[in-house]
Amino acid sequence: MKRYLSLAGLLCAAVLTSCDKNGVQDITAAPPASRIKFFNFGVNAPSVNFYANDTKMTAINSATGVESTTGVAYGLVGSGGFYGGIAPGQYTLTGKIAATTDKDLAIASVAATIADGKYYSFYQSGFYNTAAKTVESFVVEDPLPAVDYTVAYVRFVNAISNSSAMTLYAKNTLTAAETTLGAAAAYKAAGAFTALPEGVYDLNTRVTGSATNVISRAAVSFLAGRVYTIGARGDMTVVSATATNRPYLDNTANR
């Protein structure tokens, strides 16, 4: 009996020990109410990790126990396109080089106020300056509409620094009906989320007063109940249909 009591005492001691600072952390607290996602749309920009002040907000999986040097490459969205939780407050949002050379050098930085319960997107944009090792950046709020399972919602963000203000149009591939998705968006601007019937659409941007398509993307599916952002990235002077830095319309789901 004494032996069993001793074992029980040891088990209790182990349980108590697990409650100290080296024990299992409490993860039952509510997550931050605000959200943010990160885009690397800076033409020729190196891969980066994104930070809010000193907190790393995006990461690439590593099987070695050492931080990956891959980072978020040009044309990609951090964290697989998902939002990350962030507490409301004042932040310096940065993109820092992920590679071994110039490791953690901040190439993009923007001050932002994160409001409670709101959603945001941070964009590296424009062209990477190889001499200064800098690229432009901006933040837009993502005012997500209420869930509506009868339509999709779509908006346009312009991250091309050498573009004119553009309007996004969606043409239904079955009915040929065309919908204007918000007003013209200049560089670093975002249009409003616009309701769109579920379907497959050809997307086109045009400058004000012109019927000529500037950037096109065919057969994009939008599902009812979902919310999407179409982001323009690239270099407007590139005419190749396959070049990495060609003008391109990215489709990322907000919800």
3-state secondary structure the chain: CHHHHHHHHHHHHHHHHCCCCCCCCCCCCCCCCEEEEEEECCECCCCEEEEECCEECCCCCCCCCCCCCCCECCCCEHHHHCCEEECCEEEEEEEEECCCCCCCCEEEEEEEEECCCCEEEEEEEEEEECCCCEEEEEEEECCCCCCCCCCEEEEEEECCCCCCCEEEEEEECCCCCEEEEEEEECCCCECCCEEECCEEEEEEEEECCCCCCCEEEEEEEECCCCEEEEEEECCCCCCCCCCCCCCEEEEEECC
pTM: 0.87
Q: How far apart are CA 99 and CA 71, in angstroms?
A: 8
Does residue 22 lie within any of the structural domains?
A: no
Question: Residues of 95-121 as b/e, b for ≥16 C-beta within 10 angstroms?
Answer: bbbbeeeeeeeebbebebebeeebbbb
Instruction: Identify whether residues 149 and 251 lie together within a single domain.
Output: yes
| Residue 79 pLDDT exceeds 60 | yes
In the chain, what percentage of residues exceed pLDDT 70? 89
- Residue 104 shares a structural domain with residue 184: no
pLDDT of residue 61: 77
pLDDT band at 27 (very low <50, low <70, confident <90, very high): low
Asked if residue 112 belongs to a domain, the reply is yes
| Pair 96, 155 in one domain | no
Which is higher by pLDDT, 69 or 145?
145
Q: What band does 176 get if pLDDT is binned at 50, 70 and 90?
A: very high
Mean pLDDT for 177-196 is 97
Domain boundary among 110, 142, 174: 142
pLDDT at 96 over 50: yes
132 and 35, same structural domain?
yes
The whole-angstrom distance between residue 202's C-alpha and the CA centroid of its chain comes to 23
Total number of domains constituting the chain: 2
Q: Which CATH number fits the domain that encloses residue 96?
A: 2.60.40
